[in-house]
Amino acid sequence: MGINELVKAAHGNVVSKGWWDEDRSFGEIIALIHSEASEALEDYRQGRSPNEEAFIGETNDGLSYETDEQLEPHWKPIGIPSELADICIRVFDACGHYGIDLEKAIKEKMAYNATRPQRHGGKKL
């Protein structure tokens, strides 16, 4: 799938789950994107490595379980990769709602960034 196809699929799923039954403000959408980034940071602060993937789910006897394999399709992915995916999904949803051609915007921004000087702006972080 291309980026704009992912935008359409992500936004369509969010709409189908009822999250756009009431309009959201732009500020709320940005806050939701930010919250996913904060969750990734919190995972890191709790000792998860950036490439560590895990899944949580419940067994037939009702016990909660965490593993590095998705043993059942309904088990929830957790960890930094999953939170980074959530950031993308939130961005895709926003772009779908506002009709933003994200693929074009990314290409334009990457082309512009290629013209910038080394470590532009003099910032340390």
Q: Assign residue 50 a region: left if phi > 0, alpha if psi is -120 to 50, beta otherwise?
A: alpha
How far apart CA 86 and CA 35 sit, in angstroms, is 10
Helix 80-98 × helix 3-16 angle, to 10°: 90
Confidence grade of residue 46 (pLDDT, cut at 50, 70, 90): very high
Query: Mean pLDDT, the chain, as a whole number?
Result: 94
For residues 2 and 118, the model is more confident at 2
- Is the model's pTM score more than 0.85? yes
- Counted domains in the chain: 1
Confidence grade of residue 38 (pLDDT, cut at 50, 70, 90): very high
> What is the residue range of 63's domain?
3-122
Sign of CA dihedral 90, 92, 95, 97: negative
